[in-house]
Structures are given as C-alpha cells and as structure tokens.
Amino acid sequence: MRHPFLPLPAALAGVLLLTACGTGQHGGSDARPPSGAPCPGQPSGASAAPLPGDPAEPERDGVRITGFQGGDGGCALFEVTHAGTEPHTYTVTFALISEAGTVLDTAERTVAGVGPGRTVSGRIPLDTAAGPQDVSRVRISRVRSVPVDEAPDKGGPCPASGLRVHADDGDAAMGLRVVSVHLENCGARPYALHGYPDVELFDEEHQPVDGVRILRDGSSVAGATGADGPALPLVLDPGEGAWAGLVWRNTVQAGTPVHAPYVRLRARSGADWVTLVPELDLGTTGKLGVGPWKKREAGPQGGPSSP
C-alpha cells in the first residue's frame, strides 16, 4: 500500500518523521524534482496531511526537508538554498533513523552549482544497506559546501588548470591522523613541483581558523607516516601524479578542541586554490604537519606506495 505524499512545513525541516521505509535503490540518482514534487509512482491528486510528531531540530545550513512519500519506492524531498555571493557545490549527509532512534543507514547527496539566492531540490531514497526497514525519521546530519571554482576533482573532464586535486579518506590510529592529498597532471604539458603545498584552514562557517600552526614536514607531528623527508624538485609528465600528507593528532587536553572541516590548498605559488573537506579534528594540539610533494609510485592498485 502506498502512502500519500506529505508536504513538510518549514518548522519541520531538520527532522522528518516517516510512516514507512522505502525500497528504492540506495545511493541512486541525484535527480532533482521540482519543489514539492512527489516521489516516483506517486498517484496524482493525492491529498496532503499534517506531518505528525514533534521535530527535534530546525532546518540546517540552508538545507531543509520539504516532504516525503513512504512505502515501496518511498523517498524524502529536500531543498538547498544558497545565501552566498558565488556559486557553491553542496554535499549533504542524511541519517535514516528507526523508531527506536537507531541510525539504520546514511545517504549522501551532492548538489552542484547552486547559484547565489537560488534554491535547488533533491530526493533521498528511503532504502537502507540492510534492506527495507521502517524508517521513522530522516535527519540532516551534515552540510558542507565549497565554491564551484574551487571544488576538488577526482574524475571527469580535466580542469582548465590541467590539474586534478582531491583528498582521500585518511588513516587513523591511536589519536594520529593522516590524510593524503593527491594531485594528477591531466593536462598536456609537464608540471613542476618543488616543496610543499600552501594550506589554509577554515571552520564550518567558512571562517579562517586561528591558533593552529601549519608546520612543514609531517615529522613535526609524528614520524613514519610517509609525509616526511626532504622537499625535492619534481616534474610531472601528463598522466603522472604526486601526493602530500596532512598529519595531526586529535588529542584533547586543556582548552577548546578545534574542528576545521575545510582545507584550502594550492599545489604551488600562483596555482589555483582547491577547497578540500577532510574534516580535521585537531583537538587542542594547535598544529598541523604538511608533508612535501612526492611523486606517486604506482602500487598494486595504482595508488601511492608510501602513505
């Protein structure tokens, strides 16, 4: 049995209460129906009804959930409104929550190129990795946005700069964190590197992070991470790549822990800036180690052999 599509008042934007889970494919298309549009298969002329429940959170960081349809193939609908002055690409993480309050799964949606003052709609299938289950709430867990001109690029057409830059998911052990920044020369000319990438840190509000020293050489934080050693001159031929490590500890002692979700980075002086989102949980250590650029040596799966 299919449930009617329910529009969601603005006050219910942060947490969405649902009557049933959907069985649409998890992680499917980022199709963007018009605001208020039903999920696939919604009967025309379905009546709207007030959404039951007492939501715990408001809309978050320009994202709000606008409605849902439960049952097979069900989904939640959301909108992204950009209040900035230049186009941004948004990545939004939603939590699919059971009636008991357990997070059954998460769903991530990327909404590219939202212009100033514009609103773009999207859709979240209500399926979970464990299969169809009752999803009673959808919560906006995290919202991140980067300027379109500085968005990282792992694939697709080669940027005008001739460089692709992205960060991996990183490694963590005993409070030590290491994230590798990968650079690929996808252009037609050799690209020279010598030294360290330039790095700036920003908080959730896109404001500069103060009180953190950015130190050259990863060994300034910890040894044996691969992000150490001398900075040697490199020349990347077309198709070749390099990597540099970001090294920190998330130790918390006296003071307020620092969270810097955004890292603004350029490969060398004069290069284009790229905004990465490695979610640096810097604790109260007050420092980040940046390793030198190293040429990527193809390993068994084509990745760097060191970090």
Q: Which domains does the chain have, with CATH numbers?
A: 6-149 (no CATH), 152-295 (2.60.40)
Reading the block at residue 192, the tokens are 């020279």
pLDDT score for 137: 77
- Residue 138 per-residue DSSP state: E
pLDDT score for 100: 84
Is the per-residue pLDDT at 32 higher than 80? no
- Residue 267 per-residue DSSP state: S
pLDDT score for 38: 52
Give mean pLDDT, residues 173-189: 94
**How many CB atoms neighbour CB 216 within 10 A?**
14
Is the per-residue pLDDT at 12 higher than 50? no
Is the per-residue pLDDT at 193 higher than 50? yes
Task: Read off the pTM.
Answer: 0.80
Reading the block at residue 267, the tokens are 């490969």
Within the chain, how many helices (H) and strands (E) appear? Answer: 0, 22
Is the per-residue pLDDT at 199 higher than 90? yes
pLDDT score for 167: 96
pLDDT score for 297: 82
Q: Is 216 helix (H, G, I), strand (E, B) or coil?
A: strand
**How many CB atoms neighbour CB 121 within 10 A?**
17
Give 202's strand partners. 208, 262
- The residue that leads in pLDDT, 300 or 57, is 57
> Where does residue 81 rank: exposed (0-12), middle (13-18), buried (19+ CB within 10 A)?
middle
Confidence of residue 29 (pLDDT cuts 50, 70, 90): very low
47-100 pLDDT, tens digit per residue, is 333 333 334 455 899 999 998 665 566 788 999 999 999 999 999 999 988 878
- The residue that leads in pLDDT, 138 or 240, is 240
Percent of the chain with pLDDT over 70: 74
- The residue that leads in pLDDT, 21 or 171, is 171
Is the per-residue pLDDT at 306 higher than 80? no
Is the per-residue pLDDT at 17 higher than 50? no
Is the per-residue pLDDT at 210 higher than 50? yes
pLDDT score for 175: 87
pLDDT score for 159: 93
Is the per-residue pLDDT at 23 higher than 80? no
- The residue that leads in pLDDT, 71 or 147, is 147
Give mean pLDDT, residues 180-207: 97
